[in-house]
Amino acid sequence: MLPEGEESRIIEMAWEDRTPFEAIELQYGLKEPDVIKLMRRSLKRGSFELWRARVSGRATKHLKLRVPGVSRGYCPTQYKPR
């Protein structure tokens, strides 16, 4: 079980279009199937289904499918001051 703050951050990263699953694995050790399980467990059914439809086949969620010019996993404006 992950600490609450980490679980929330993983969910946030999973929703982000430009954050690949590989970045989540590198930072938290969760492979794509583990992230899917976390999302299924943490989200309401409708939200999970929307998320799955959104990320399925999305090139930016997988490093191997990305256009070579995309070298970062996040938008500079995505991180808000806390």
Domain limits for position 58? 4-64
Does residue 70 belong to any structural domain of this protein?
A: no
Does residue 75 belong to any structural domain of this protein?
A: no
pLDDT for res 68: 61
Does residue 77 belong to any structural domain of this protein?
A: no
Each residue's pLDDT tens digit, 29-70: 999 999 999 999 999 999 999 999 988 877 777 666 655 655
pTM for the structure as a whole: 0.73
pLDDT at 6 over 60: yes
Does residue 82 belong to any structural domain of this protein?
A: no
- Virtual torsion, Cα 68, 57, 4, 73, nearest 10 deg: 10
pLDDT for res 42: 94
Phi/psi for 58 (5° steps) reads -75, 120
pLDDT for res 41: 95
Neighbour-count burial of 20, counting CB atoms closer than 10 A to its CB (0-12 exposed, 13-18 middle, 19+ buried)? buried
What is the number of structural domains in the chain? 1
